[in-house]
Amino acid sequence: MKYKTINYVLLLPVLIGILTSCNPSPNNTKESVFAEAPLFDADNLKHVEQEMVSPPALPKHEQVSERDPIVVEVTLFVEEKEMEIAPGVKTWALTFNGTVPGPLIVVHQNDYVELTLINAATNTMVHNIDFHAATGAMGGGDISNVAPGQQVTFRFKATKAGVFVYHCAPGGIMVPLHVVSGMNGAIMVLPRDGLKDELGNPVHYDKAFYIAEQDFYIPKDENGNYKAYDSPAEGFPDLITSMKTLLPTHLLFNGKMNALTGNNALKAKVGEKVLFITSQANRDTRIHLIGGHADLVWMGGSFNDAPATNYESWSVVGGSAVAALYQFRQPGTYTYLNHNLIEAILFGAMAQLEVEGDWNDDLMKLIKEPEAIP
């Protein structure tokens, strides 16, 4: 009897080992958030230039990085441009690279971003950039102020994995003025070993889209018509009055009414896993995919936490970005929207996806067409 007891005791560590390996927690191999980021000789690391592309596209990138950290060179051009955001509605958009939102940047955790911000002499205002992914100096805002005709370069280490907003923040009232004029974007900092599902297993996306919601506060004249101005500065007094109502006139996905609907709808196929990165630099929103779900949502945008599963709608807090992943199981038209349906339908916060593939009768079947009630 004594002999048997000793045997069980010896087996205990083995049993614990088996049980642990059957239930891999995404958290059990991680370091504390207070652990020092590993040190690299950033001045002598390999540099790779990232070619920026316009949203909803993402720049070319690897989902898993098998190399040492690198310095990712990114150039953003400030462009102040008059944009027609809805039929007959013009505003002086303040932009990174000419789009609202600015381009999505993609790096891996502990890579360095070497950011060059160019403010052409043809612009009229001082701009800068604050990265929510960066540490110190107001996210870079304090060291990146550039007047028209200037450029600046600074480097930051992407220590935290997740999706993060960046935006212009030139101080005081200029901060909200520039942000609601479109001067914001996002950066995705992937874990070096890629994304993990809720069980801690690797998950790859077949496609990714960057969709940002922008709140605009376009001033109106005494007759209720939207006003246009000859320069951004000329419109600012009216814009301040309009902003102070906290009532947007437009809530647009990717800077323009119907930028991602109808002929501009996004495309996917049944079976594909699609990663949606959605940012809102100024205001809360809540996202829903009509006809689908989020299989995985990294709430608050953090890739450090296990993703939540099977959400119907998910929150994007103002000043943040969130990533959600869905595998399409059924073809057809899907709507990706802000599920304040007034904000979606009347203010513009919606996109569409056209998904190709074979219909699955098991998931849904029309049993009887609409007909007169007998």
Interface contacts to Cu ion, rule CB under 5 A: 94, 127, 168, 178, 183
Q: Supply the minimum distance, in Å, between the C-beta of residue 347 and Cu ion.
A: 24
Do residues 169 and 125 lie in contact, with contact meaning Cβ atoms separated by under 8 Å?
no
Residue nearest to Cu ion (CB): 168
User: Quick one: 96 or 205, whose CB is closer to Cu ion?
Assistant: 96
**DSSP characters over 27-91:** TTTPPPTTSPPPP--GGGSPEEEPPP--TTS--S--SS--S---EEEEEEEEEEEEEEEETTEEE
Q: Supply the minimum distance, in Å, between the C-beta of residue 169 and Cu ion.
A: 8
* Tokens at 313, concatenated: 């709608």
Query: What distances in angstroms separate CA 273 from CA 161, 233, 280, 320, 359, one per listed residue?
Result: 20, 44, 23, 23, 17
Q: Supply the minimum distance, in Å, between the C-beta of residue 74 and Cu ion.
A: 17
User: Quick one: 86 or 168, whose CB is closer to Cu ion?
Assistant: 168
Q: Supply the minimum distance, in Å, between the C-beta of residue 95 and Cu ion.
A: 9
Q: Supply the minimum distance, in Å, between the C-beta of residue 43 and Cu ion.
A: 29
Backbone angles phi, psi at 158, to 5 degrees: -90, 85
Q: Supply the minimum distance, in Å, between the C-beta of residue 98 and Cu ion.
A: 14
* Tokens at 310, concatenated: 């099977």
Q: Supply the minimum distance, in Å, between the C-beta of residue 59 and Cu ion.
A: 22
DSSP 307: P
User: Quick one: 148 or 194, whose CB is closer to Cu ion?
Assistant: 148
Report the SS3 class of residue 352.
strand
User: Quick one: 127 or 288, whose CB is closer to Cu ion?
Assistant: 127
104 forms beta bridges with 186
Do residues 146 and 119 lie in contact, with contact meaning Cβ atoms separated by under 8 Å?
yes
**DSSP characters over 282-306:** SS-EEEEEET--EEEEEGGGBSSSP
Q: Supply the minimum distance, in Å, between the C-beta of residue 152 and Cu ion.
A: 13
CA angle 109, 113, 115 (to 5 degrees): 160
Rounded to whole angstroms, how far apart are CA atoms 237 and 232? 10
User: Quick one: 239 or 274, whose CB is closer to Cu ion?
Assistant: 239
Considering only CA atoms, which of 222, 319, 241, 238 is closest in space to residue 230? 238
